Structure 1
Amino acid sequence: MSLSPKLPDWMEEVGPDLYCIDCDYVQPRLACVYLMINDAGRAAFLETNTSRAVSRFLEALKVLGYSTDDVDWIIPTHVHLDHAGGAGALLRECSRATVLAHPRAAKHLINPDRLIQSSIQVYGQETFEKLYGEIVPCPESRVRIMADGESLHWGNRTLEFLYTRGHANHHFCIYEKTSGVFTGDSFGIAYPDLQSGGPFLFASSTPTDFDPPAAHESLDRIRNTGTGSVFLTHFGRLDSLEEAGRQLHESLQFLTGLYDDARARFKSAEDKAAPELKQSLEEEVRTRILDSWVDQLLSRGFPDASAIQERLGMDAALNAGGIVFAAQRSLKKG
């Protein structure tokens, strides 16, 4: 086995025996999966993206001189389909592997019908199939639930599981002390092509569990591990954690203001369930989010506002949808 194999351009070593695999989801360098190897030559995948990326994960094993029989663990941070959509398909290829999951996520990995139907309602059948491909159920016997704070000793590595609500109620992060924290969506988004003017991160408020106070607590929990590095699913390794944490808390405060405004609009409306009200609020919130990001990036030296709008339009729409959904649901709860 080569000590320094030639890596394809979609694969990068981001730590000792730790590799970032670009899933080419929607576009390059938007979503990744991490492949970790321990001192016994055993492998773990952290995140699974979609079934359309599984062939790339198998190729990554082969590049490093490993096979699917060497995979012990498959670990999605939560069941949003850009993180867990490929879990069942990858598990099917890795006959000795076990999926490690949050208890609220496990049931959807075992029976993904609800996830599939809700996603089809959002995207439509054609776009759903283009984005996610086949969603394969995970056999219940091959799914292990991890408790909050539970540690898994695995060769020279220890994986500690930290429940981190705010983005999703079924979200956990994985803290591996020799590497850092694998944060899923709990430590924001930092696309590599937007970092040339300095760190630029923003919080994710995608539907349906956005909870600002819990998201602030999760940021602090990650920082309080004392780690020097985090590994974002969107995207890559990040070491400037003090500045990142400051930006993310500010981002959450901004999103909370939008949530409060949307909630007030719903509360004052005669027909709180009117589809046109929800639609107009989502568009208004999306515009305010996108304008904020454009202003920040222009101040960092990015020359083209229209290019920024095109690059981040999908993220702004997803964040807006989550904020408006949460605001409307809060009134239904009373």
Structure 2
Amino acid sequence: MWFSPRENYIHCRMTTTIDCEYVMPKVAAAYLLHCGDKACFIDNNTNHAVPLLLAALKDNGFKPDDVAYIIITHVHLDHAGATGLLLEHCPKATVIAHPRAAPHVIDPSRLVQSAQSVYGEAEFKKLYGTIQPVPESRVYIPADGEVMQVGDTELQFIYTRGHANHHFVILDRKTNSIFTGDSFGIAYPMLQHGSRPFLFASTSPTDFDAAEARASYAKIVATGAAQAYPTHFGVWSDLRAGHAMLSEHMTQIEKIFEALKSGDTGSAEPYAFARSAIEAWFAGQLAERGINLTAAEQQMLGLDIDLNAQGLVFAAARARKKAAK
């Protein structure tokens, strides 16, 4: 593995990790797969990352015409926000998406409307730009477990619920690497400098399901992949240790979820209760490892704590509604 002089991507044999510089460096990645004379992107972040993706393509000896596929693990905009714009630059490429993600790639209006309601129109524009639709004729939907020949490698698509119902992971059989999106946790480099590394689960709205997440972790490890590439961020080389870490985190998440579901939050309203409990758990994990974060890094991690709290509150409300029927 070596760092490019451009400092925004990392080379590791047949995979290039591209830093999309989302919010701050080394938070969100896109992956460029070298498949002989063909190239594939896995995840693409936002429109603002497109110049970085095209520069990485050129610096690795590829042309836009060489891009065979633009693959998205799921449709959340920090993973797939640049799909339409990137496709315009890659005239021979086809977008590969989960069957539940494809409609939102073809017509992103509902996705945009939902995100704008959260961020506001001005902040949405700043973060994501204008989301371009993708022609239906340029979208391919693989079946669960399907294997595709791409250049000199084979890619297998494995559906993984838990984080999102429209999520799959991609196993590159040539390098025995698995590209996990958000289905195998978040592993920011800023969290890897302590006595032992730190990987945590993402429980963001609106599809989080703890049982499905656990099943997906097991499914990913069962592939026998030598390393995982989560979108946040870079290579994770010990899947069994990662699985144990995520399982430990899931146990804590389930306790918070059950308290929210039963209304056992004391005098605190649900979001405040969830956020406080998650923040306390994170603080203990960081202290245990001797990880000290800068103010900017603490702010970044705070965004994940917010999203995780929102996701658990949403999941608990959904569970209560289902139980009341």
Is the structural similarity TM-score above 0.5? yes
SS of the aligned residue for 2:74 comes to coil
Match of 2:252 among 251, 254, 257: 254
Instruction: Report if the CA contact (8 A) 2:157-2:168 is conserved.
Output: yes
Instruction: Provide runs of 4+ in structure 1 moved above 2 Å.
Output: 4-7, 302-311
* Map 1:156-167 → 2, pairs under 5 A: 156-167=152-163
Corresponding residue to 2:263 among 265, 274, 277: 265
What displacement does 1:333 show?
2.2
**CA apart distance, 1:265:** 1.1
How far residue 309 of structure 1 moved from its aligned partner, in angstroms, is 4.0
Asked if structure 2 preserves the Cα contact closer than 8 Å seen for 1:199 and 1:243, the reply is no
| Aligned partner letter, 1:206 | S
Question: Residues 6 and 124 (structure 1 numbering): CA distance in 2 closer, same or farther, change over 3 Å?
Answer: closer
Please point out which of 170, 173, 178 is paired with 1:181: 178
Q: Name the CA distance, whole Å, in 1 between partners of 2:4 and 2:22.
A: 23
Q: Residues 192 and 5 (structure 1 numbering): CA distance in 2 closer, same or farther, change over 3 Å?
A: closer
Query: In the superposition, relative to structure 1, how do residues 305 and 193 fare at CA in structure 2: closer, same or farther (>3 Å)?
Result: closer
Q: 2:65 aligns with which of 66, 69, 74?
A: 69
Matched, 1:96 2:92: yes
Indicate conservation of the 8 Å contact 2:190/2:297, yes or no: no
1:238 is matched with which residue: 204, 224, 236? 236
Q: 1:320, 1:122 → 2: CA distance?
A: 15
Determine if contact 2:199/2:242 at 8 Å carries over to the other structure.
yes
Give the 3-state SS of the residue equivalent to 1:30 in structure 2: coil
1:191 aligns with: 188
TM-score by length of 1: 0.92
> Is there any run of 5+ residues in structure 1 with no aligned partner, and where?
270-276
- How much does 1:17 deviate? 2.3
Q: What amino acid is aligned across from residue 287 of structure 1 in structure 2? A: S
Range with greater deviation from structure 2 (16-25 or 163-172): 16-25
CA distance in 1, matches of 2:5, 2:224: 31
* Residues 193-237 of structure 1: CA deviation (Å, up to 9, x unaligned): 110112101000000000000000000000000111000100000
What stretches of structure 2 of length at least 5 have no aligned partner? Answer: none
Kept in 1, the 8 Å contact 2:3–2:11? The answer is no
| Other structure's SS at 1:26 match | coil
Q: Whole-Å Cα distance in 1 between the matches of residues 152 and 245 of structure 2?
A: 34
Which residue of structure 1 aligns with residue 55 of structure 2? Answer: 59
Instruction: Tell me if structure 1 keeps the 8 A contact 2:19–2:30.
Output: yes
Mark the CA change 1:328 to 1:143 in structure 2 (over 3 Å): closer, same or farther.
same
Helix, strand or coil at the partner of 1:104: coil
Residue 288 (structure 1) shift? 1.2
**Equivalent residues of 1:298, 1:304 under 8 A apart:** no
Matched ranges for 1:66-145 at <5 A: 66-145=62-141
Contact 1:290 1:312 in 2 (8 A): no
Structure 1 partner of 2:286: 297
Structure 1 residue 304: Cα displacement: 6.0
Distance (whole Å) between structure 1 residues aligned to residue 118 and residue 227 of structure 2: 34
Matched residue, 1:312? 301
Structure 2 residue aligned with 1:272: none
Contact 1:294 1:305 in 2 (8 A): no
Paired position in structure 1 for 2:317 = 328
Relative to the length of structure 2, the TM-score reads 0.94
Cα deviation digits, residues 263-308 of structure 1 (max 9, x gap): 1118x99xxxxxxx9x931122112111111111111113469776
The reply on whether 1:288 has 2:286 as its aligned counterpart is: no
Corresponding residue number in structure 2 for 1:152: 148
Residues 137-194 of structure 1, C-alpha deviation per residue, up to 9 Å, x if partnerless?
A: 0100000001100000112210000000000000000001232110000000011011
Shift of 1:311: 3.8
> Could you say what the CA RMSD is over the residues aligned between the two structures, in angstroms?
2.0
